[in-house]
Amino acid sequence: MNNVPISVVIPTYNRENKILNSISSVLKQTLPPKEIIVVDDGSTDATVSKIQETFSDKVQILLLEHKGVSHARNRGVENASGDWIAFLDSDDEWLSEKLDKQWKHIEEHPETEILQSQEIWIRNGRKVNPPTRLSKKDGDIFEQSLEFCSVTPSSVLLKKELYQNQGGMDEKLLACEDYDLWLRITSQTTVVLLDEFLLVRYGGHKDQLSFQYPAMDRFRIYSILKLLSSHLLNQTQRRLAEQNLFIKWEVLRQGRIKRNNWKEELDLILDSVLKEGFDSYFGIQMQEFLLKNQNWI
């Protein structure tokens, strides 16, 4: 490995058929990282044994009980010795100059705290173009981050200090944990976009979280409510957050009404949460309603 202070953190769970390609793409970097930390989230397949057989002397492996990707990423960062963190999902791959080009930008612009790159999308084995509305932007992307997850974990290089100061990933979240983190980060700092394609991002397989959990906007509503209660937003950010919250809430509401599964008192609870905060009595009720998967099956 190298003296460049970059720690690569790869969370994984039952990815025996994909993880080796991900690790190989890190080992092919023209600028090697300081270390590669694979965090296994309690895999029940041959993920760990395959890594040990192939890369035992090249990676560190953390073995955890199955508690989700947020827990895995947080433990990986805690164990990282580098000042900079590069995440890589265990079904994605980097192009060989990914770290090299990002690090050169940091050397030229030392004020940078977080940067990402463009990405190539592969869906079910075919290259596709992402929707125009998902185009990545540079700078202040808080407004875009309210609408959807505007930062791709596998394309990011960020300061470890920034990640930890923002509290890391929220381990209560079953999904959209990246949306939640980037929302907090983009409310406080800008994100640099390195306008080069340095990541191959694979999708469409059934083990992705978006296939496992219904009504994904409930997790985003949770994140916006939590952020509104933090009192970290300026007046403009707060207005944007509330606008986006009501849009997502109405979509969720209409979906439940169609299924005859809506209680009108939920609208009153939302009003109370906005007035009293996410840690209030009604805030705790709202958290349970949004996060408990049984409510959405």
Give rounded-to-5 percent helix, strand, coil for the chain.
45, 20, 35
The predicted pLDDT at position 182 comes to: 98
Domains of the chain (ranges, CATH numbers): 6-206 (3.90.550.10), 217-296 (no CATH)
Alpha carbon 189 to its chain centroid, in Å, reads 17
Burial of 280 (0-12, 13-18, 19+ CB in 10 A): middle
CA distances in angstroms from 48 to 15, 77, 95, 275, listed in the order given: 9, 19, 24, 48
- For 7-16, 76-85, 219-228, 275-284, which range has the lowest pLDDT when averaged over its residues? 275-284
Percent of the chain with pLDDT over 90: 83
pLDDT score of 150: 95
Structure tokens, 163: 């990640």
pLDDT tens profile 90-114 = 999 999 999 999 999 999 999 999 9
Mean pLDDT of the chain: 94
The pTM of the full predicted model, rounded to 2 decimals, is: 0.94
Torsion on CA atoms 143, 162, 60, 172, rounded to nearest 10: -60
Q: Specify burial of residue 9 (Cβ count, 10 A radius: 0-12, 13-18, 19+).
A: buried
Helix extents (H) in 91-234:
98-108, 142-147, 160-165, 177-186, 209-212, 217-229
* pLDDT tens digit sequence for 160-219: 999 999 999 999 998 999 999 999 999 999 999 999 999 999 987 666 655 567 789 999
Using DSSP's 3-state secondary structure scheme, residue 95 falls into: coil
When pLDDT is cut at 50, 70 and 90, the band that residue 231 belongs to is confident
